[in-house]
């Protein structure tokens, strides 16, 4: 029987994402000037205020005020009328040194013996239903909001947009789990106050979203996906009415509250640990990236159409306590999921330091992950510049989204004869 499945995304101006981006900007600056930094940084944003808290062990010192303000202004909170602006908000730092009780289980004499920064389970997922091996509903949701942000910055076709926004896409699937059509699209976007009455304002916003935004999004998608857009789609655009008050003034934002948006939109599974603000010794982050890397390469190598990979750790222990694979009955290699998991353990070194080295995670690569998803983006090499009144100016060439590289496909095909 056909069924519906829904995923959502939130914009870079959503208060929780503002918090994530601040936490990851601070992490990047710590790693840029001291790659061995241990960081767990949390951010709270609300009307006119930013509060930083967490634990850090580092040989560098940062001008956190300036970093925070730059992030907020870049997102687009630059006007006093938003009740939250990079130039005028208060910034309170409560960051303190990391507990030695935690650190003693992580740092060892030999880096290869580095223990996991915490216990827990992490998941990676991949599916063949999109070119980037991501769930389709989430992929479209991300594209809707990324494109909406582009339109906001251009300020031409839609000039009234403000930074806060959410999107949601519902797909109809067939009995054989093939996407058939888009059933519903929800977009809620913050906007300037209108001179027109609320009804005319809402008509204008709905018309612009359907006639300007959606065609731009559709043009980015492959032809097979474009066919899922039809004239029967149900649109809910700002369904509660006007949305002038938004961002951290409308809702308090916290680091780590959008973990499903950050990963797979409800597909697969999630271990519960957030990513942003954590250095790669925290396996919540690094092992989740490594599990995605495994799952994506397995699907790309033809091992299965859909794969979930789970890895688990004990705090301070080097080797993972388990590796689990679920192919949802789509395996193509004539092996049980348990046997596939055993081969995965042979192919991929899942010790925390090995993950850091393989994916080049002790680099300032994290701000770019903090909006529109940590998974499914194109791996690229860029040059980033960091300036500090305490450390001077440095340029670093870094690889972003290394866990999205299809660099193990040939080895997997050899191992699985796929």
Residue 251, marked binder: yes
Entry pTM: 0.95
Residue 165, marked binder: yes
Residue 257, marked binder: yes
**Mind listing the pLDDT tens digit for each residue in 120-148?**
999 999 999 999 999 999 999 999 999 99
Residue 16, marked binder: yes
Residue 242, marked binder: yes
Residue 274, marked binder: yes
Query: pLDDT below 70 — which residues of the chain?
Result: 98-112
* CATH top class, domain 120-127+273-416: alpha beta
pLDDT reported for residue 117 = 78
Q: Are strands 179-191 and 234-237 parallel, antiparallel or unpaired?
A: parallel
Q: What are phi and psi of 181, to 5 degrees?
A: -170, 165
Residue 42, marked binder: yes
Residue 288, marked binder: no
Residue 204, marked binder: no
Residue 166, marked binder: yes
> 3-9+136-245: what fold?
GMP Synthetase; Chain A, domain 3 (3.30.300)
Region(s) of the chain under CATH 3.30.300.10: 3-9+136-245, 120-127+273-416
Residue 282, marked binder: yes
pLDDT reported for residue 390 = 86
**Spatial distance between the Cα atoms of 38 and 52, rounded to a whole number of angstroms:** 16
Residue 232, marked binder: no
- Would you call 130 exposed, middle or buried from its count of C-beta atoms within 10 A (0-12, 13-18, 19+)? buried
Residue 349, marked binder: no
Residue 164, marked binder: yes
Percent of the chain with pLDDT strictly greater than 70: 96
Residue 90 neighbours by CB distance under 10 Å: 9
């Amino acid at each position: 029987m056909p069924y519906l499945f829904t995923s959502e995304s939130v914009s870079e101006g959503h208060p929780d994402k503002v918090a994530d981006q601040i936490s990851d900007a601070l992490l990047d600056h710590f790693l840029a000037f001291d790659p061995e930094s241990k960081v767990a940084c949390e951010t709270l944003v609300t009307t006119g205020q930013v509060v930083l808290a967490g634990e850090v062990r580092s040989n560098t010192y940062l001008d956190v005020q300036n970093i925070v303000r730059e992030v907020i202004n870049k997102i687009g909170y630059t006007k006093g009328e938003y009740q939250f602006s990079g130039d005028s908000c208060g910034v309170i730092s409560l960051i303190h040194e990391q507990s030695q009780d935690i650190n003693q289980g992580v740092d060892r004499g030999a880096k290869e013996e580095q223990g996991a920064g915490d216990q827990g389970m992490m998941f990676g997922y991949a599916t063949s239903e999109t070119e980037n091996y991501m769930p389709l509903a989430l992929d479209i949701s991300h594209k809707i909001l990324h494109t909406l942000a582009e339109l906001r910055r251009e300020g031409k076709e839609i000039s009234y947009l403000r930074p806060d926004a959410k999107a949601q896409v519902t797909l109809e699937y067939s009995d054989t789990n093939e996407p058939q059509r888009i059933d519903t699209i929800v977009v809620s976007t913050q906007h300037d106050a209108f001179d027109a009455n609320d009804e005319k304002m809402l008509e204008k916003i709905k018309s612009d979203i359907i006639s300007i935004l959606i065609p731009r999004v559709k043009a980015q998608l492959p032809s097979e996906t474009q066919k899922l857009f039809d004239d029967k789609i149900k649109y809910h655009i700002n369904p509660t009415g006007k949305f002038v008050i938004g961002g951290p003034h409308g809702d308090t934002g916290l680091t780590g509250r959008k973990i499903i948006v950050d990963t797979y939109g409800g597909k697969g599974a999630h271990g519960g640990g957030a990513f942003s603000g954590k250095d790669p010794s925290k396996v919540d982050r690094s092992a989740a990236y490594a599990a995605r890397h495994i799952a994506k390469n397995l699907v790309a190598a033809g091992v299965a159409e859909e794969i979930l990979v789970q890895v688990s750790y004990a705090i301070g222990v080097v080797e993972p306590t388990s590796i689990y694979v679920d192919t949802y009955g789509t395996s193509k290699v004539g092996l049980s999921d348990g046997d596939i998991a055993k081969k995965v353990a042979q192919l991929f070194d899942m010790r925390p330091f090995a993950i850091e080295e393989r994916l080049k995670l002790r680099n300032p690569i994290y701000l770019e992950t903090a909006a529109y998803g940590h998974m499914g983006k194109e791996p690229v090499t860029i040059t980033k510049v960091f300036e500090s009144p305490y450390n001077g100016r440095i340029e670093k060439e870094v690889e972003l989204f290394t866990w999205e590289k299809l660099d193990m496909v040939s080895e997997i095909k050899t191992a699985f004869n796929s």
